[in-house]
Amino acid sequence: MFGSTITVELNNTECNKEDGYGVARFKSNIIYLSNEAHGNPIDKTEIESTFMHEVIHFIFTKLGYDELSDDEKLVKQFSKALHQVLTTQEFTDECESLGPDTAMLMNNRK
CB of 53 to Zn ion, least distance (A): 5
Q: Total number of residues binding Zn ion (CB under 5 A)?
A: 1
- Classified as helix, coil or strand, 28 is coil
Residue 75 or 103: the one with the smaller Cβ distance to Zn ion is 75
CB of 70 to Zn ion, least distance (A): 9
Site string for Zn ion, 39-78 (x = CB under 5 A): ------------------------------------x---
**DSSP H helical segments within the chain, as ranges?**
12-17, 44-62, 66-69, 72-88, 93-96, 100-108
Distance CA(75)–CA(60), nearest Å, equals 9
